Chain A
């Protein structure tokens, strides 16, 4: 069982073990595999397009953390809500956003999910209750709590899941968010993706408490640490957390232990960790781990999974073509309705143009 802590903070978390109860059917399990591979291939293609200067700005890849996002989001219903941080590609794909509109967003095209105005850090799709990626570390937690407040006031039983990193748990907004959520018993599942680094600063250098889930103790909040690289464990623990939140018992903090295989962003030279460290983590690749399990359990054959992977390669190539063929947003956006839902014309106009 994953470590659970809702009372004291003096119990160290043992390494979580796999939990496989009455789980999902074979087709669903294979689909989780598909989602993870789709994220991996999409991200690899993003890196390639970034190197070829087709993608601008910052690029934060989710490679290595796929099981956390896919496992957690698998626990949600369509009417539930998601907020995430700037490393948002994986969550968007796991929520079912079309990779065509995601690649188009990265290319700055008007067909992008945010019309080419947000870029890599600001994927969103309101129609899927995917409220977007936010790039000010830790501060989107409060927005997520606000949506949860709205759900409670509207007497809906939707849950809000919000993703953030270990580096987001030291700023004041994290503590304000946890306090509000617990104080008002709001349906929030806080998912901390602990990848051991706040950008390039190691966990033990940036946080007085390195077991992030223990930070929930100050608020009397239920919290668990979970192996975020084990898809099924992540899913099961998330289901439990979501159920807890949905039942009106208040929020839950999950600490998903994971690791990003690539740098913080595409420019990162990774001086803060050794190649050996990265290789050691790579050898426990969450996708390979799940693939092996699917085959060993007889849920899918190697050929079947290879066919899925091949189809994804084609899908990713097609997303690049879609992005390349799409038009760019025009100047009229700047002069017209881009900034306000209800623009107010003034005379003389603000730019004097």
Chain B
């Protein structure tokens, strides 16, 4: 085994799946408890976590899973779970609670074909619109989409840091095809993962649990703290963490929740833009591979096609509109590619009526193919 320039041993190529990288990366980043409930296609992560995480808790159902996570987070731990839509549906009321209590945690959502129990072993991109409306009132929960195998390593620490920095649940969105497909992977690509940095309240004054800092995020202290009383509540509350019906202070606290997420979620996307482009392909998640392949095929034909791979999916980035406007204003086609029938990302950006020039290519039961994207661009 040789050594690379930085002194680390040279690694070979190994056959790995996304679940392995996601789990290891989360553990390295400082997630310290995995709360599991088995569900295809997320169970592989559960299995890996049982071999890796400092603490593993098999929950009896997904409601319990999320409540345990909330309790652990309230007491200072950084909990993680992975699930698919049926599990997320059960977790949702508790995710709302975690949003209101401002508890950091990461949920890896491995999408599978719906509706309902659908096809457990078929991948999909079915859940973005659900995530968009998951919190009553439309308050955003950060959603970061894994676009390729490298993201399985690099995005989990970002998700965990975002959860800590913004005191919020964060969803790491992926699909069966990413977490269960094995790939040859050059192990030298695994960069260093640093544990997330975490600050707690160290002021001299009495702690007010929901008094926010200049970034709109209250400094954290765990319940059980020996010097300060800590109050948390899922109900509309004041800065002391006490239930209030609709006082100015309490409503200001609720107004702060979306503001901190919009301001603090890292804007992650990848844009490839040749000079004088003729069209833009927009994608995220598992369709990113097909979209890259399609753009490569079109470029080989001499067409100048741009590619936008969105990683930050919620909150919707203003940058996306800036990019899209460049094409739409010049009447250049914009093609959204995602593995569902509704064009969920496109609809998140534009609503049910897509602007002239915006088109959509999707599918269910199979990944969207590069050929399908090529055909739609050529159309």
A and B: bona fide binding partners? no
